[in-house]
Amino acid sequence: MEQILGRQPHAPGSASLLLWIKGKLFTWNILKTIALGQMLSLCICGTAITSQYLAERYKVNTPMLQSFINYCLLFLIYTVMLAFQSGSDNFLYILKKKWWKYILLRLVDVEANYLIVRAYQYPTLTSVQSLLDCFGIPVLMALSWFILYARYRVIHFIAVAVCLLGVGTMVGADILAGREDNVLIGDIVVLLGASLYAVSNVCEEYIVKKLSRKEFLGMVGLFGTIISCIQLLIVEYKDIASIHWDWKIALLFVAFAFCMFCLYSFMPLVIKVTSATSVNLGILTADLYSLFFGLFLFGYTFSGLYILSFTVIMVGFILYCSTPTRTAEPAESSVPPVTSTGIDNLGLKLEENLQETHSAVL
């Protein structure tokens, strides 16, 4: 009848497209992943703010002491828990079989923390984190490709490019605000720390997905405490002796340790149901949170580009989470069998399987 009257029939394509986008990009699992990522971002923001506040206001540059307190907390909780496990999960059994692997891994993690916290005394807060993001994520993706056999789709590379574009927007806002006082030595320290962080995150993803979170955190607490204590006595004993302690400095140390402990405790849970790359994209917003706190604590100048940067980063992160990656593990592999269901974007893959099963039934 509409054709007879000369009117075009209403195309249902636009409404279907909106429903498809809503069902693809705004599922419960993606929203949950975003929320978990922002929780980790706030933890990172807390460590960054306390570190720079100690460095700028009180001239306290003791990154190893700050990390040592965190490792002690991990030791007192997770290593002690691991000691009461039985069988192959027992502390002594793990120590006997894998001690040298965890020593190497903890050495990488300890030095990564040391370099990044040390870098806060060179450039500005946001420049440290921006450089860490822009260099660390591509390195992390490359390591995941070769070590974890992660295979990315075109949408994942586009999403990463969008996220890094958001980071670039934030850096541009920093330059316009006159905060481009980076120095070469600071940039080098951040690049080294970013590389070590990428190695640590890939190893963490492997352990929490194929072994257990308790084992990972228990070994982090043990060897992290030992290594950081040794380095603390060698490198920072003079800096610690020169600290003029008061309740404000002590409170900043406690706040840093609390944020770092929460970060270490929750990150394996998020990595287990997503991936190290997905987590690192989600925590790009930590730069923005640090910046907003810097407006009040360090006298930063606000710019509308920061809001734009946050929006672009979140769009890229949602795009990345909208499509699961796949794993192309070789047929003959020495990798132990997966003992848990921790795979990249697990919720998305379960949803796809349910949709396929529903279609087959119909």
Per-residue model confidence as pLDDT tens digits over 86-116: 777 777 888 888 888 888 888 888 888 777 7
pLDDT in tens, 174-184: 666 655 554 45
For residue 359, name the pLDDT band (cuts at 50, 70, 90).
Answer: very low
- Residue-level pLDDT at 20: 58
262, pLDDT greater than 80 = yes
Residue ranges of alpha helices (H) inside the chain are 13-25, 28-57, 63-74, 80-83, 91-119, 125-147, 154-176, 184-210, 213-235, 237-241, 247-273, 276-282, 286-297, 304-322, 346-361
Ranges 12-16, 43-47, 255-259, most confident? 255-259
**Residues in Cβ contact with 263 at an 8 Å cutoff, skipping those fewer than 6 apart:** 40, 43, 44, 47
> How far, in Å, CA of 97 to CA of 106, rounded?
16
| Confidence (pLDDT) at 175 | 65
**What does the pLDDT look like over 122-172, one tens digit per residue?**
555 555 666 666 667 788 888 888 887 888 888 888 888 887 787 777 667
Contact in structure between 74 and 221 (CB atoms under 8 Å): yes
What are the tokens at 24? 């693809």
| pLDDT tens digits for range 209-234 | 888 888 889 998 999 899 999 988 98
Query: Residue 239: which residues within 8 A CB-CB, separation 6 or more?
Result: 60, 61, 62
Question: What pLDDT shows up at residue 315?
Answer: 82
The SS3 call for residue 151 is: strand
Q: How far, in Å, CA of 122 to CA of 334, rounded?
A: 43
Average pLDDT, the chain: 75
Q: Tell me: pLDDT of 29 over 60.
A: yes
pLDDT at 176: 67
> Which amino acid, one-letter code, is at 13?
G
Which of the pair, 260 or 208, is modelled with greater confidence? 260
166 vs 121 pLDDT, higher one? 166
Q: What's the pTM value of the predicted model, to 2 decimals?
A: 0.72
Taking only the tens place, the pLDDT of each residue in 31-83 is 777 788 888 889 988 988 898 888 888 888 888 899 899 999 999 999 998 88
Distance CA 151, CA 23 (A): 24
Report which of 169, 172, 68 is spatially closest to residue 114, judged by C-alpha positions: 68
pLDDT score for 236: 87
pLDDT of residue 74: 94
pLDDT value, residue 25: 60
* Dihedrals phi, psi of 150, to nearest 5 degrees: -70, 135
Q: Residue 311 pLDDT > 60, yes or no?
A: yes
Mean pLDDT of 303-324: 77
- pLDDT computed for residue 346 by the predictor: 45
Domain edges within the chain: 24-328
Please tell me whether residue 21 adopts helix, strand or coil conformation: helix
**What whole-number distance in Å separates Cα of residue 201 and Cα of residue 298?**
30
- Percent of the chain surpassing pLDDT 90: 12
Phi, psi of 93 (to 5 degrees): -65, -45
Which tens digits make up the pLDDT trace of 236-248? 888 888 888 899 9
Please give the average per-residue pLDDT across 327-352, as a whole number: 46
Greater confidence, 72 or 342? 72
Model confidence at 30, pLDDT cuts 50, 70, 90, reads confident
Q: What pLDDT score does 353 carry?
A: 46
Question: Does residue 342 or residue 304 have the better pLDDT?
Answer: 304
C-alpha pair distances (Å), 252 with each of 246, 258, 289: 10, 10, 18
Between 22 and 350, the higher pLDDT residue:
22
Whether residue 7 is predicted with pLDDT greater than 70 in this model: the reply is: no
Q: How confident is the model at residue 297 (pLDDT cuts 50, 70, 90)?
A: confident
